[in-house]
Structure 1
């Protein structure tokens, strides 16, 4: 269009300063200046995938809205509701809240401080110093019941899945070691093998968050293995942490657990989507039932990135 053979097209591109914009975009995407003759530009360098990567990298750098964004990159399971919202079964209100969760644009007192420096940033429910999204959905005592609902649903689903494949399971079994009681979420057994499963749902802030939580669960219950091997007459017991992100992030390490249960790759992917949606919807309900009345009087934010 920039050097079109049609005079009208040339006039329009001139008025829009299109050539300068193309050169600017080329520099952003490639890191080098565009050739003097734009006709020599390689179209491949300006393909949509490069532009998506550029915008995603910008998004990750945002102080608030970029928090935890990188963990969802190239994740077909955790992003299924975004790619196919109708098939995923989310209602319109749920979908809109899910978008706010993903972009960390749910109104919180702490983010309001940027708009009103003298505003109270403490949590309205527990008086924790800073009311943030990770705090509300991951730590605030007021919403412990909501978190336990999601936790129990995931535990229940894992028990059902184990049963489908012929595993017997014990839920919240009390195991006493050296006078101390331990209560893992699930103990499943089959053919002389056992698996200790403990579920964690947390705010997925970094790429390593869910992996670290799973490893912590393994360390926590590792010492129960010989006790269960002896008590349940098992030849082998393993310990696994089943971790999920509160915004629907699926931990790839969970596939190993489903595979050990006996599920095919196709079945594992389908179940991963279901569990991801289950946790996401629970978090959506938590946010939708959280009052925002005292935040509406604050002055509007001048820019998305002004929040923390």
Structure 2
């Protein structure tokens, strides 16, 4: 049937190379004549090939038997794998376009790096409709705020604290009137982490308390000390905004510098010290470096699978509450422990 379709187009004896040229959408030479064929599976395949070629390197070539064979990135595709390979390539193309956008791509550069931030996409587990409606617009930086205007000369200052640019990162992480709710978001993540701890005998766990022997006012979220094994861990929880992964790296390095003097003192006493940060983004981003910390703390593996999802959901829920408080001016009252 393909030969018949090509023959009606070129109006001469069909050669094997003509089949490939037709499927690749050639429009010069013999293929420049006006089309007389009716729509069929081959004309649709030709059109589809031309349509997706600007997005990825797809085309047709002759195989060893002089038959047309579809190729993707110069590699031949088997018939049974062609649909899956093309679908994967198209998704990768549009995903990269999104990541390259200066505003819309910065959050997805983080949330697309692991599974927990997107666990609710198919099932909606642990997620209310209110969070569902908020998080997708928020991750695309499409929520209505003064600083999010793409045109016009309207006022961009924060409506609550007067900061010069009312952007979503400012509202969720830096606006002073919301510091109490921001702290509750932090505590929700910390509570999940504390619940996952299973300290061995002889281990002391101090939550949000000063380190014994230091009166500098610093209170790490978790200070774990084991006198018998001479080990210590200083862990701080943070919920930075997902301004690409560089924001997570900056937050982690800042925590290490903050407690470096305490770690140095403990090392001088012979302790093996771990200083690290546990990071969950304000919009549910998960730092893959958390996995190293989970292993070092010997957290319960069965619970950790659920914990990752709950932490991301908690961050989204509290961030949505912060945004609603900011826009409406009315605080949302609910218990921090609400599942």
Confirm or deny a common fold (TM above 0.5): yes
What's 2:130 paired with? Answer: 93
2:49 equivalent among 2, 8, 22: 22
Alignment RMSD (CA, Å): 3.4
After superposition, the Cα gap between the structure-2 partners of 1:234 and 1:109, relative to the gap in structure 1 and judged at 3 Å, is same
Aligned-pair CA distance for 1:55: 0.6
What's 2:282 paired with? Answer: 246
Q: What secondary structure does 1:187 align onto?
A: strand
Query: Equivalent residues in 2 for 1:57-76 (5 A)?
Result: 57-76=96-115
What's 1:218 paired with? Answer: 256
What's 1:144 paired with? Answer: 179
CA contact (8 A) 1:146 1:286 kept: yes
TM-score (structure 1 length as normaliser): 0.78
Which structure has the higher relative contact order (CA within 8 Å, separation 6+)? 1
Distance between the aligned counterparts of 2:320 and 2:2, measured in 1?
Answer: 47
Say yes or no: does 1:105 pair with 2:142: yes
TM-score (structure 2 length as normaliser): 0.71
Structure 1: unaligned runs, 5 residues or longer: 294-308
Pick which of 205-214 and 258-267 moved more: 258-267
Distance between the aligned counterparts of 1:92 and 1:206, measured in 2?
Answer: 26
* Larger Cα-atom Rg: 2
1:154-207 deviation per Cα after TM superposition (whole angstroms, max 9, x unaligned): 223323322566653212223487863322222122344221111111101112
How many equivalent residue pairs? 281
Query: Equivalent residues in 2 for 1:166-245 (5 A)?
Result: 167-175=203-211, 180-190=216-226, 191=228, 192-227=230-265, 235-245=271-281
After superposition, the Cα gap between the structure-2 partners of 1:19 and 1:281, relative to the gap in structure 1 and judged at 3 Å, is same
Aligned-pair CA distance for 1:120: 0.3
CA contact (8 A) 2:146 2:166 kept: yes
2:70 equivalent among 31, 35, 41: 41
